[in-house]
Amino acid sequence: MTKEFFGIGSHKELQKVLLQEKPRKIFLVVGKEAYEKSGVQAAFSPMLKGFEVLEFSEFEENPKIEDVQKGIAAFRSFQPDLVLACGGGSALDMAKSINALAVQEGDPLDFVLKKKEITHQSKPLVAVPTTAGTGAEATHFAVVYMGKIKYSLAHRFILPTYSIVDPQFTFSLPAKITASTGMDALAQAIESFWSNKSTEESKAYAREAILLILPNLAAAVNTPTPEARGAMSKGAHLAGKAINISFTTACHAISYPLTSYFGVPHGHAVALTLPSMILFNSEADEQSLNDSRGVVYVKKAMAELVNLFGARDGREAKEKLEQLMDEIHLERRLSRLGVRAEEDVNLIVENGFNPERVKNNPRILTIEALRLILKEIT
Ligand SMILES: [Fe+2]
């Protein structure tokens, strides 16, 4: 279980964490720009005085295995007692992967490729998000790209020991990043709600996340107030807790090639198929059902989800999502994001049809159905 601190000013809790853990050496993993601009550096620098700190920020967005390997080398020669990760999803995932893999025996690649299992617990990790999006501070998995292919490390040892979610650190986020990371949080909450692996607990987190994000995302993007930012931070954190149990589904699976081949930011990429998928899943029937809890259960869950949007049916919920994307200025057409030719669509279908993620979708998503969905938004 992660020990969680939440709220404006909660960053001060780092002091207590340091008193509790008594580290001598701290491995600080930060997204360089975010660390400074978010205000984390100014807030944490005084608290980090007196500790031996090694800062690692040599990585790009969407964590790459080469960068994880660099981090592992730095970690091993420094031998820290604690890892402090501050930044967006990439920085947090980077820290989680480095911390977990640095103490395993063997080639890090073998763990990413699932040839070997994580067996050793690593150092305590404190995760401090500077976006309201991925919820990476609340999950036991981490994304790693090898070339254009996305892999996921998953183990209970990857779950952060502490999370400090201070909405204050998101106050200076540009509108564009607020929009895409906010849609990641919303997609994670929605996908978690309809996931085959959902539980009553994950649904409670997802429900609360949706009810926080829906009325606050447009305000956080266009006319940010501390209240809207606070609601987004809380919603994103809860959505992270929800997918930590239920995992994500089709929209996430389809999104990865859009990010790696076409450079669409993660949150924007998952948002693209979200409106179509809410309609698609709300039309699940006996023949197309994927969830062992049965058609009555899925129909009821989808009706509740649609209701959370204040919509009457899947089509109206789809329209509301499209409106929201327009309000926060996220392009909805694939053709305007560089996906034009038939071969581009083939690339997405071939690489986005991850059987494990698609399997979590409550309605069977065939390649043909996915093609139709992509065609509709091209
Ligand atoms: Fe995501």
40 CA distance to ligand 1 middle (Å): 23
Provide the CATH topology of domain 3-169: Rossmann fold (3.40.50)
pTM for this entry:
0.97
191 CA distance to ligand 1 middle (Å): 10
- pLDDT means per 10 residues, the chain with 378 residues, are 97 98 98 93 97 96 95 98 97 98 95 96 98 97 94 96 98 98 98 98 98 98 98 98 97 94 97 98 95 97 98 98 98 95 90 81 94 94
CATH topology match: 3-169 vs 174-376: no
360 CA distance to ligand 1 middle (Å): 15
Domain boundaries 174-376, CATH class: mainly alpha
Element containing residue 141 per DSSP (H, E)? strand 141-146
79 CA distance to ligand 1 middle (Å): 31
47 CA distance to ligand 1 middle (Å): 31
pLDDT at 286: 94
138 CA distance to ligand 1 middle (Å): 12
pLDDT at 73: 98
pLDDT at 136: 98
pLDDT at 359: 87
Q: DSSP states of 272-338 as a string?
A: HTHHHHHHHHHT--TTTB--TT-HHHHHHHHHHHHHHTT-SSHHHHHHHHHHHHHHTT----GGGGT
Question: In this structure, which amino acid lies at residue 150?
Answer: K
289 CA distance to ligand 1 middle (Å): 24
Q: How far apart are the first and last CA of the chain?
A: 42
Tokens of 148: 């254009």
Q: What is the distance between the alpha carbons of residues 112 and 101, in angstroms, rounded to a whole number?
A: 9
What number of CA atoms fall less than 13 Å from residue 243's CA on the CB side?
32
215 CA distance to ligand 1 middle (Å): 20
267 CA distance to ligand 1 middle (Å): 6
184 CA distance to ligand 1 middle (Å): 5
What are the residues whose beta carbons fall under 8 Å from the beta carbon of 341, sequence distance 6 or more?
none
pLDDT at 100: 98
309 CA distance to ligand 1 middle (Å): 20
339 CA distance to ligand 1 middle (Å): 21
20 CA distance to ligand 1 middle (Å): 32
Tokens of 10: 């909660």
Phi-psi region of 310 (alpha: psi -120 to 50; beta: other; left: phi over 0): left
- Residue extents of the structural domains in the chain: 3-169, 174-376
340 CA distance to ligand 1 middle (Å): 24
124 CA distance to ligand 1 middle (Å): 24
